[in-house]
Chain A
Amino acid sequence: MKRLSLSLVLMLLIAFFCMQASCFAEKPESISIGVMGDFSGPYAPVVGPTRPGTLDAWQYLNKEAGGIQGIKLEPILKDMGGKVDVGQSQYNELVSMKPKPIFIDMYITPLAAALRNRFVEDNVVSLVPGAGESLYPVGNSYAYYALYPEQIGVVLKWIKDNWKKKENPKFGIITWDTGYGRAIVTEEFYNWAEKIGVDIVDTQLFGIRDVDLTPQLMKLRAKNPDYLITNSTASGPLAIKKGLKEMGWDIKLINTSGGDWGTAALDPSLFEGDLVALHVKSFDEVDDPSIKTVMTYFTANNRTEKDKSLFYLVGWQVALLEHKILNQVVKDHGWKGLNAENVMKELNNLKDFAPLEGITKMSYSEKRRSPTVARVYKITKGKFLPVTDFVETPDLRPAKFK
């Protein structure tokens, strides 16, 4: 019965979609892309710069890449202000638009996780953060960067490869007690670490609102790790590093996307020598052609120093990806074939897509819905300097969804 009703609903949806598709089989006037995020709430320090990033990228794509066969692309920005119910309503507004946007970018994990099934039902493709629960089991969601444990994995592998001493390198985890922070504390991650021969000696959690981390840091120091690992951003790494400095413990911190330029700019001297895994090129590689293009728009639109962060580049990356996919689908199937199925087919076959002369690399497949590269950066004199090129991340998907 359940399967029957499900297939019935699916058939209805498909029929509905076909009706919709025939409505705009002609060239549309513009193609809209839904961009949803928490641009003013608690996640804003991280994802806030996506707004300018997205706007600048679409400006570039419409101006220099000619949109999609001359049709302009229009991002529709929605700020949910940290309120999930407002976000849900904005999502409904986006999917009831005509023509419906095929891509909906989510810069907010709880909402992306809650709406995972809705993406499938509403026939939209969503780009979500690299947290496992918003991706798996696979639906219509794709991550814009590798899963958080996979990003850490790249750094761990690099340290292990350059490890001179006889005994295994030792790591302590200190991370936020939230869905985001705990995303790296997975069984797969621990097993993999054991397999490549690094020791995770201790795991400590701390709250977003903790001002002092003495007990956690004391416990970690007792285990004597060589590096600390965290998956937190803005105030999180700041509190850790301040605590470390105060107790006179000189140890380097490893962070994922959360440890980007925005976080390091809070107090550059504290983050000196830390390792960060990011999936894009660095703002500090000023001679790189891709960064040059980005920076032209950055300065032309009077973006401030605060916008210089990872999610500004993520805004670019997502826009470039969507442009490429939409262009390809329209080329292969015509305007009639511009639907979620074809878009997903195209995405699943994407291999090593390196837009803008290689600002990042993206590959997706049917089963693996997150890009598989990251780069290790070392913060030297406040600059993010790469110590590796883009390297393949380990595959740390939740085991049951492999």
Chain B
Amino acid sequence: MLFLQYLVAGVLTGGLYGLIGLGIVIIYKSTKVFNFAVGALMTFCALVCVALVTNVGLPFWLALPISLAFAAFLGLLTERVGLRPLLAQPILTLIMATLAIESILYGTMLLFWEGYTISFPQGVLPGQTIFLGPIFIPHEFLYAFIVATACFVLVGVFFFKTQMGLRMRVTAESHVVAMALGINITRIFAMSWMLATVVGALAGIFIGNRLGLQVAITPSLAFKALPAIIFGGLDSLAGAIIGGLTVGILEKMAAGYIDPKVAEITPYIILLLVLLIRPQGLFGEERIERI
């Protein structure tokens, strides 16, 4: 019974990790850039959502799409201002650029929200805990989990069923090949940044609803998703979600059966073991190396 409860908690938190991971994977897949600014981006969008609800007074269901639109805009802006000028430069330089962007976003957030913890007004997510016998399922997490699954399905359909998705996959394969095929890869990059920021914003809103938002602490929550995406493979969409779930479950099991103290590092130890056996993550694409 306890086991089931830990499993439920793990799956539900894992969904949240998967959602953050999805945002990182989308960008990595198409641009090969690891986005260190993911935490700052998701916090920013979530803070905008809170501001729309509390300061402007919009209902949550209206504030949500507006803040997601803002997220898309912010992603576009980041790509255009920060990364476009560095096109075709060494990958590490681009990663460094995301670090610089993170600093800019952090400062901008401080201008508007200072260092206080900002919380959503209570009950923006309607409903209450569902009890299934002795097992309880918190509704806030359930929403997050449903949204994560929906995001995963939508992004999957987008990638594998649409023309644009096909272009994105070609770009992921090789930038040169994509350009030779007449694909406008700068547009693909902009697209993937927008998509990733929107997914991140959703994660940020759920986290904010849970823990409140603070400009220095909330971004670091994104690092919780790191073992998840390495676990699944940096360039695999399915891997992000499955990795998220695995890490979530591992964490709760470790906290439940061993000691909460080891919960945070258990994913990393498992991660090291996985990497030793499968260096490209569980679902990552195996690259055949040539000289």
Contact = CB atoms under 8 A, between A and B. Distances in A.
Interface of A: 38-42, 44-45, 48, 82, 177, 204-212, 214-216, 218-219, 234-235, 238-239, 242-243, 245-248, 262, 266-267, 269-270, 306
B136 A247 contact: yes
A40 B106 CA distance: 10
Nearest to A204: B260
Given A44-B116, A206-B260, A238 B212 contact: yes
Contacts of B217: 42, 45, 208-209, 235
Contact of B115 (A45, A177, A235, A243): A45
A40 B114 contact: yes
Interface residues of B, number: 41
B16 A211 contact: yes
B264 A48 contact: no
A235 B118 CA distance: 10
Given A42-B214, A247-B136, A266-B212, A212 B115 contact: no
23 contacts: A38-B115, A39-B115, A40-B114, A40-B216, A44-B114, A44-B214, A45-B117, A48-B114, A205-B261, A212-B252, A214-B6, A214-B252, A215-B6, A215-B263, A216-B255, A218-B2, A234-B117, A238-B119, A242-B210, A245-B129, A246-B140, A247-B136, A267-B122
Given A266-B119, A306-B116, A41 B252 contact: no
Nearest to A177: B261
A248 B210 CA distance: 17
B110 A40 contact: yes
B211 A235 contact: yes
A234 B255 contact: no
Given A45-B217, A243-B138, A266-B119, 6 more contacts: A44-B115, A82-B216, A209-B224, A214-B6, A216-B260, A262-B117
A216 B260 CA distance: 7
Could you say which of A48, A177, A262, A266 has the most chain B C-beta atoms within 10 Å of its C-beta?
A266
Interface string B195-217: 00000000000010011101111
A239 B140 CA distance: 12
Contacts of B5: 214, 218
Nearest to A42: B216
A219 B256 contact: yes
B112 interface: no
Nearest to A309: B116
B115 A41 contact: yes
Given A45-B214, A266-B212, A235 B114 contact: no
Interface string B84-122: 000000000000000000000000001000111101001
Contacts of B261: 177, 205
Interface in B1-24: 2, 5-6, 8-9, 12-13, 16
Interface in B173-227: 207, 210-212, 214-217, 220-221, 223-224
A215 B9 contact: yes
Interface of B: 2, 5-6, 8-9, 12-13, 16, 110, 114-117, 119, 122, 129, 131, 136, 138-141, 207, 210-212, 214-217, 220-221, 223-224, 252, 255-256, 260-261, 263-264
B138 A266 contact: no
Contact of B214 (A218, A235, A248): A235
Contacts of B140: 242, 246
Contact of B211 (A205, A238, A246): A238
Contacts of B224: 209
A38 B216 CA distance: 11
Contacts of B141: 212
Contact of B129 (A44, A246, A262, A270): A246
Contacts of B138: 212, 242-243, 246
A378 B60 CA distance: 32
A212 B9 contact: yes
Nearest to B210: A211
B260 A48 contact: no
A38 B116 CA distance: 12
A235 B16 contact: no
B210 A40 contact: no
A218 B256 contact: yes
The 8 closest A-B pairs by CB, nearest first: A44-B115, A214-B9, A215-B256, A215-B255, A235-B211, A246-B138, A45-B117, A266-B119
B246 to A, nearest CB: 16
B216 A41 contact: yes
B226 to A, nearest CB: 12
Contact of A209 (B117, B119, B122, B220): B220
A211 B207 contact: yes
A21 to B, nearest CB: 38
A211 B221 contact: yes
A306 to B, nearest CB: 5
Given A212-B12, A212-B141, A215-B6, A239 B214 contact: no
A212 B131 CA distance: 17
Contacts of B131: 248
Contacts of B12: 212
Nearest to B123: A269
Nearest to A246: B138
A262 B117 CA distance: 8
A204 B263 CA distance: 12
A242 B208 CA distance: 13
Contacts of A266: 117, 119, 212
Contacts of B207: 211
A210 B215 CA distance: 16
A234 B139 CA distance: 22
Nearest to A38: B115
Contacts of B139: 246
A212 B13 contact: yes
B210 to A, nearest CB: 5
B42 to A, nearest CB: 13
A267 B26 CA distance: 35
A261 to B, nearest CB: 12
A235 B263 CA distance: 19
Contacts of B6: 214-215, 218
Contacts of B212: 234-235, 238, 266
A185 to B, nearest CB: 11
A267 B216 contact: no
Nearest to A306: B116
